[in-house]
Copies of this chain bind each other. A is one copy, B any other.
């Protein structure tokens, strides 16, 4: 079954090995790519969910819950079956043996089919992502769609590679006095157990798919617990997965939705003795709690981090400022990969446009952001809306943290008058204030920090990353020596580094199959999404041997 996906799987396997550019799903929402009317049909499908119980045939308490409100100012009114944790887990356990027995290949191909159908419902999902995360539509389509689908496929490929790296059967023949000893051996992949995926508010699909598909492909049933503010994208995902699994003759209970209205369901599930894998994206506080308390499970977390930019010099003054301005503005800095601390020597930097003082760098950056977001109607298509009131509070508090270099604005959205939108605020903070810049201020808040030298900047990068973690780091220099030092600092601190980004590649964007998301080597995350370490603990191999 699903033989048609074998080529996609093979290409994905090549891509994770070679790590060059590859993508299975086009990122353009153009009708030339996805067909005339696809966008309209997706929007209609999304709207058909509003104000109604979501069509999901899962057992539950009988109550239907849900209180999602779009950051663009509309209540979604979708409700979901309130789950009984023990029932979901029991159903998942009952579904496990047949899924295990299906074997790595059948599972991998079924997973690709799920991803494929998710892709076919891309516009419906894009609307759901937009109105739960606040992302602008194009970003919701891309990051919540093809990019998330690529990450899903990447996880399937890593899982398949890990499960098939050794032979599934072997003849063992040991020379011995007289007759050789001969045994026939079988090696069977067995899943770890029921998995839990805890989704986040900002990237419900992108951040949940790697864990979901890594667990499912390795044979584990998966319970998906979305963030209470971003249920719909994962409800649609779960619906699609259950549909494919049932069509293929498996128990749809292999994938289930555990919606909640912030009543602690994640804690209950994560510490249940039968939950054996937990994938989490969200706050450092809850991630640390999971790592300490879900001792019965393999726990992968992606938490907060402090992302740093070290500016030493540049041969593209305008390119650097434009690139940074975009990274600060995209989705109002509400990406776990967005830069926060911008370190610049107090004595200024050399550029292709001559020496620039620290103040000129700060002002240049402010001007670049201001220009990029000068037109409200265009600005909101880049910034999107603020995902929740916590972000708004941080933006409003930021001016008190130092000297404001760029004030935040509140552009009006032409289509959604109640949308909560803010442009980035940039604050100058001194290097002796690690209490301010040494922690994450999630949202459109960044700091420009004058340092004694680039060496000191790199020390700050190292220290903050080691102490609080980071998902990205960035450096600008025309000196290969400085870039080497930056690479060494990044290696020591265990953070992925981007150098001299002045064009169309941005530090906060990572490309599936090529870029690792996070590294697992600093406190911001326990694993990259996705690499061999991310999939290997999700299954074991059980062997059987008998004389041949």
A455: CB under 8 A from chain B? no
Nearest CB in chain B: distance from A546 CB, A: 4
Q: Is A390 located at the chain interface by the 8 A CB criterion?
A: no
Q: Which of A17, A19, A188, A497 has the most CB of B within 10 A?
A: A19
Given the known inter-chain contacts A20-B171, A170-B514, please indicate yes or no for A542 contacting B494, CB distance below 8 A. Answer: yes
Pair A494/B536 contact, Cβ less than 8 Å:
no
Of all A-B residue pairs in the complex, the 7 with the closest CB atoms, nearest first, are A499-B546, A521-B540, A536-B536, A533-B536, A19-B170, A520-B540, A497-B544
The complex places the Cα of A539 from the Cα of B494 at a distance, in Å, of: 11
- Which of B170, B494, B496 is within 8 Å of A20, CB to CB? B170
Selected from B16, B505, B544, the residue in CB contact (under 8 A) with A183 is B505
Flag A504-548 by CB within 8 Å of B: 1 or 0 each. 110000010011100111000000100111001101111111110
Contact partners of A185 in chain B: CB under 8 A = 19, 514-515
Question: Smallest CB–CB gap between A177 and chain B, Å?
Answer: 9
Within 156-215 of A, Cβ neighbours of B (below 8 Å) are at 161-162, 165-167, 170-174, 176, 181, 183, 185-188, 190, 192
B502 adjacent to A547 (CB under 8 Å): yes
Stretch of A42-50, A395-403, A484-492 contacting B (4+ beta carbons < 8 Å): A484-492
CB distance from A370 to the nearest CB of B (A): 26
User: Is there an interface contact between A190 and B19, defined as CB atoms closer than 8 Å?
Assistant: no
Contacting A531 at CB < 8 Å: which of B19, B176, B541, B546?
B541
Task: Kindly state the separation between the CA atoms of A258 and B504 in the bound complex, as whole angstroms.
Answer: 53
- Given known contacts A166-B19, A171-B20, A176-B504, A490 and B545 CB-to-CB distance under 8 angstroms: no
Q: How far is the CB of A67 from chain B (nearest CB, A)?
A: 34
Is the beta-carbon distance between B540 and A537 smaller than 8 angstroms?
Answer: no
Whether, in the assembled complex, A223 has its beta carbon less than 8 Å from a beta carbon of chain B, the answer is no
Please tell me if the beta carbons of A167 and B540 are within 8 angstroms of each other in the complex.
no
Q: How far is the CA of A519 from the CA of B192 in the complex (A)?
A: 11
Question: Which of B167, B498, B519 contacts A17, CB < 8 Å?
Answer: B167
Residue A55 lies at the interface, judged by CB distance under 8 Å to chain B: no
With beta carbons under 8 angstroms apart, the residue of B490, B542, B546 that contacts A519 is B542
Of the candidates B162, B499, B514, which one forms a contact with A172 in the assembled complex, judged by CB atoms under 8 Å apart? B514
Q: Does A483 contact B (CB under 8 A)?
A: yes
In-complex Cβ contact of A167 among B19, B167, B487 (8 A): B19
Across-interface contacts of A511 in B (CB, < 8 A): 172, 174
> Is there an interface contact between A540 and B528, defined as CB atoms closer than 8 Å?
yes
A542 and B495 contacting across the interface, CB-CB below 8 Å? yes
A231 within 8 A of B: no
- A547 CA to B323 CA, complexed, in Å: 13
**A181 interface neighbour in B100, B498, B504, B540, Cβ under 8 Å:** B504
Given A483-B546, A497-B542, 14 more A-B residue pairs with CB atoms under 8 Å apart are: A16-B166, A19-B166, A19-B187, A20-B171, A161-B165, A170-B514, A494-B542, A496-B544, A497-B544, A498-B546, A500-B547, A519-B541, A531-B541, A533-B537
Query: Contacts A21-B173, A172-B514, A532-B532 given: A497-B545 contact, CB under 8 Å?
Result: yes
Q: Judge whether A97 is part of the interface by a CB distance below 8 angstroms.
A: yes
Does A292 lie at the interface of the complex (its beta carbon under 8 Å from any beta carbon of B)?
yes
Q: In the complex, what distance in Å separates the CA atom of A167 from the CA atom of B516?
A: 12
A295 at the interface (CB under 8 A from B): yes
Q: Across the two chains, which residue of chain B brings its CB closest to A97?
A: B492
User: What residue in chain B is nearest A162 (Cβ atoms)?
Assistant: B532
Nearest Cβ distance between residue A169 and chain B, in whole angstroms? 9
Contact of A545 among B161, B188, B503, B515 (CB under 8 A): B515
A173, A183, A192, A528: residue with the most chain B Cβ atoms closer than 10 Å: A183
Answer yes or no: A420 CB below 8 A from chain B CBs: no
Indicate if the CB atoms of B292 and A494 lie closer than 8 Å. Answer: no
Q: Are A521 and B192 in contact (CB under 8 A)?
A: yes
Q: Within 8 Å of chain B (Cβ to Cβ): is A18?
A: yes
